């Protein structure tokens, strides 16, 4: 190929089953004709927490959120927090003006695709490190555009703007484009993952793909284009909220949480993502070192048992010791053990992930294959990667589908949630105009090296993904 072009259509919040139904009912005619009929429709596994922003990282860096040090849309750095009273890097919410620090917060030793390609373009993603000047399309209008959509609950203008920028990018001889269409996610949060307005957002993406493919054909570039339609997470409908921060606060733990972040000497901090996952940090005077094993239960006191018994809570996870992770739920407790040869899973007093005992150490690909069709795809690897990050909590709390973990200061109310490790949040569509790629279960992190190889570039060793093509 003389001039390859790779495009990622990031249909934020798209579910593979909804996509399939729309394809089967003739509601995605362009995706069907231009991509699926001569290419591939499959499901891939995203990452934990399955939340907008952190879950874009696998595509653009090949790394999971924990690997690249962004373990959620909100986080706290315990070591920083204990070392400095006023430091800028003590905690984050990318739902605020702090989103501008996202690129600085990324681990420096993993390049983004924008740093590797010569003529990359970004549309509406917050990961922009390495983009040449003038290649972050729509950057100047993004804030007012998103703010207006947030206030009016109308996201069509944002998807339309994304499409227009994409069409313009094609005129500038790009070699890589990452384009975010936020309408499916926003309407799923506002209404329901299958609400008519959400389905309309899926249809708009199909319209956009039709226009883009026609333009690529007209300009002679279609034969050299890798077009990938995918997503960062699915969503499920939400009918009840447990406010995890207020829950701890009501049980006598002085708790820091967004936007109430100016508290002296908190005993706990709660940082929610998506809103079905949350990091809980326990400030116990250990100079910011993470708590291990029973230290977590002790620090939570009476709240521990009550939390596990709550109907909203699916499971909690924490570091059991070196390379051991504990999972507890109303269904019992299990350990994930990471050895040099791989992962095993020991459901010693119950089986929260429903996987049965996994004794033989599994490498990362085997661990994905063993869990891909379960209720918790890739659970072994995802729990390990999130706790590998020093900015992750002492405890991770995950809500059941139908519930989430944030109520106060959340406007408009969320009627759809993501962030958890459940299949309905982790499985995403992976649709591309190619065939013959590695058919084994795939992760979104695999697309990084796949795009590099497809484009004739060297793949990178230190990522969480493999090469599919
Ligand atoms: Zn998202």
Give residue-wise pLDDT tens across range 140-199.
999 999 999 989 999 999 999 999 999 999 999 999 999 999 999 999 989 999 999 999
Q: How far is the CA of 13 from the centre of ligand 1 (A)?
A: 5
% pLDDT > 90, the chain: 86
Tell me the pLDDT of the chain averaged across its residues: 95
CA 222 to chain centre: 29
The predicted structure's pLDDT at residue 11: 98
Q: How far is the CA of 295 from the centre of ligand 1 (A)?
A: 34
pLDDT average, residue stretch 204-210 = 98
Cβ-Cβ contacts under 8 Å for 250 (sequence gap 6 or more): none
Of 381 and 409, the one with more pLDDT? 381
CA of 151 relative to ligand 1 center, distance in Å: 19
Q: What is the pLDDT of residues 62-72, one digit of tens each?
A: 999 999 999 99
Whole-number Å distance, alpha carbon 232 to ligand 1 midpoint, is: 5
| Kind and range of the H or E run holding 294 | helix 294-300
Ligand 1 centroid – CA 4 distance (Å): 28
Burial 224-262 (b: 16+ CB within 10 A, else e): ebbbbbbbbbbbbbbeebbbbbebbbebebebbbbeeee
Distance 170 CA to ligand 1 centre (A): 25
Q: Measured in angstroms, how far is the CA atom of residue 408 from the centroid of ligand 1?
A: 21
According to the model, what pLDDT value does residue 97 have?
A: 85
Going from the Cα of 417 to the center of ligand 1, the distance in angstroms, rounded, reads 10
The confidence band for 28, taking pLDDT boundaries of 50, 70 and 90, is very high
Question: Contact, 230 vs 442, CB < 8 A?
Answer: no
Is residue 84 pLDDT above 90, yes or no? no
Phi-psi category of 156—alpha, beta or left, where left has phi over 0 and alpha has psi -120 to 50? Answer: alpha
* Cα distance between residue 380 and residue 464, in whole Å: 14
Backbone phi and psi for residue 169, each to the nearest 5 degrees, phi listed first: -60, -35
Q: Residue with structure tokens 């929260």?
A: 352
Min mean pLDDT across 80-84, 282-286, 439-443 is at: 282-286
pLDDT at 85 over 80: no
Ramachandran angles phi, psi of 331, nearest 5°:
-90, 0
* Overall average pLDDT of the 111-139 stretch: 97
Alpha-carbon gap, residue 277 to 404, rounded angstroms: 8
**Domains in the chain with CATH codes:** 5-70+106-235+422-454 (3.40.720.10), 240-417 (no CATH)
Output the CA 291–ligand 1 centroid distance in Å.
Answer: 30
Residue 83 CA to ligand 1 center (angstroms) comes to 33
- Supply the pTM of this predicted model: 0.96
In sequence order, the β-bridge partners of residue 206 are: none
pLDDT for residue 244: 95
β-pair partners for 271? 279
Residue 40 C-alpha to ligand 1 middle, in angstroms?
Answer: 23
Ligand 1 mean position, distance from CA 52 (Å)? 3
pLDDT digits (tens, 9 = 90+) for 246-272: 999 999 999 989 887 778 889 999 999
Measured between alpha carbons, how far is residue 359 from residues 17, 64, 331, 367 in Å?
Answer: 32, 25, 20, 12
pLDDT reported for residue 82: 86
| Residue 213 CB contacts under 8 Å (≥ 6 apart), including other chains | 30, 34, 222, 227
Measured CA to CA, the distance from residue 364 to residue 218 in angstroms comes to 42
Kind plus residue range of the DSSP H or E element containing 20: helix 16-24
Measure 33 CA to ligand 1 centroid, in angstroms.
26
So what's the pLDDT on residue 286?
Answer: 67
Would you state the pLDDT for residue 193? 92
Alpha carbon of 95 to ligand 1 centroid (Å): 12
Q: How confident is the model at residue 4 (pLDDT cuts 50, 70, 90)?
A: very high
51: part of which helix (H) or strand (E)? Answer: none
First-residue to last-residue Cα distance in the chain: 15
pLDDT value for 66: 97
176 CA distance to ligand 1 centroid (A)?
21
Q: Which residue has the tokens 């001569």?
A: 38
Strands (E), 182-322: 225-230, 236-237, 240-241, 255-257, 268-273, 277-282, 313-321
Range of weakest confidence among 285-289, 371-375, 436-440:
285-289
What one-character-per-residue DSSP string does 158-213 give? HHHHHHHHHHHHHTT--SEEEEEE-HHHHHHHHT-TT-HHHHHHHHHHHHHHHHHH
Q: Whole-angstrom Cα distance, residue 461 to residue 467?
A: 11
Number of H helices, E strands in the chain: 17, 23
Rounded mean pLDDT of 294-308? 93
Distance 233 CA to ligand 1 centre (A): 6
**Angular region, 220: left φ>0, alpha ψ -120 to 50, beta rest:** left
Q: Can you give the C-alpha Rg of the chain in angstroms?
A: 21
> What are the helix (H) ranges across 388-466?
423-426, 446-454
Q: Which of 55, 62, 432 is nearest to 229 (CA)?
A: 432
- For ligand 1, the distance from its centroid to the CA atom of residue 119, given in whole angstroms, is 25
Closest Cα to residue 121, out of 243, 7, 244? 7
Q: How far is the CA of 274 from the centre of ligand 1 (A)?
A: 8
The Å distance, Cα 236 to ligand 1 centre, comes to 12
């Amino acid at each position: 190929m003389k001039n390859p072009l790779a495009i990622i259509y990031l249909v934020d919040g798209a579910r593979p089953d909804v996509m399939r139904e729309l394809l089967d009912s003739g509601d995605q005619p362009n995706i069907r004709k231009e991509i699926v009929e001569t290419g591939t429709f499959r499901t891939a596994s995203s990452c934990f927490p399955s939340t907008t922003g952190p879950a874009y990282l696998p595509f653009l860096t090949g790394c999971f959120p924990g690997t690249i040090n962004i373990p959620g849309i909100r986080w706290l750095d315990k070591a920083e927090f204990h070392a400095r009273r006023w430091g800028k890097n003590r905690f984050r919410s990318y739902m605020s003006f702090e989103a501008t620090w996202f690129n600085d917060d990324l681990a420096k030793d993993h390049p983004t695709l924008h740093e590797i390609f010569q003529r990359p373009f970004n549309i509406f993603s917050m990961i922009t490190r390495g983009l040449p000047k003038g290649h972050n399309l729509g950057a100047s209008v993004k804030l007012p555009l998103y703010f207006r959509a947030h206030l009016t609950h109308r996201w069509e203008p944002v998807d339309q703007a994304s499409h227009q920028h994409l069409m313009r990018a094609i005129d500038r001889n790009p070699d890589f484009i990452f384009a975010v269409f936020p309408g499916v996610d926003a309407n799923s949060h506002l209404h329901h993952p299958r609400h008519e307005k959400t389905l309309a957002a899926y249809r708009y993406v199909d319209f956009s793909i039709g226009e883009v493919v026609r333009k690529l054909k007209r300009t002679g570039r279609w034969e050299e284009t890798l077009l990938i339609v995918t997503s960062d997470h699915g969503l499920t409908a939400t009918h009840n909220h447990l406010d995890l921060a207020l829950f701890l606060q009501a049980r006598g733990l002085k708790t820091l949480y967004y936007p109430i972040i100016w508290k002296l000497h908190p005993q706990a901090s709660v940082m929610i993502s998506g809103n079905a996952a949350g990091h809980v940090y326990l400030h116990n005077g250990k100079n910011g070192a993470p708590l291990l094993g029973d230290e977590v239960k002790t620090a939570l006191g009476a709240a521990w048992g009550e939390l596990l018994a709550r109907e909203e809570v699916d499971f909690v996870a924490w570091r059991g010791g070196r390379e051991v992770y504990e999972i507890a739920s109303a269904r019992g407790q299990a350990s994930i053990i990471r050895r040099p040869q791989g992962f095993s899973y020991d459901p010693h007093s119950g089986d929260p992930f429903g996987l049965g005992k996994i004794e033989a150490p599994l490498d990362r690909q085997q661990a994905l294959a063993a869990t891909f069709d379960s209720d918790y795809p890739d659970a072994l690897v995802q729990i390990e990667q999130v706790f590998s990050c020093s900015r992750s909590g002492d405890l991770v709390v995950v809500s059941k589908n139908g519930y989430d973990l944030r109520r106060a200061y959340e406007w408009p109310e969320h009627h759809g949630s993501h962030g958890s490790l459940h299949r309905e949040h982790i499985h995403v569509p992976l649709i591309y105009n190619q065939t013959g790629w590695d058919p084994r279960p795939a992760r979104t992190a695999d697309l990084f090296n796949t795009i590099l190889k497809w484009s004739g570039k060297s793949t990178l060793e230190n990522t969480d993904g493999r090469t599919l093509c």
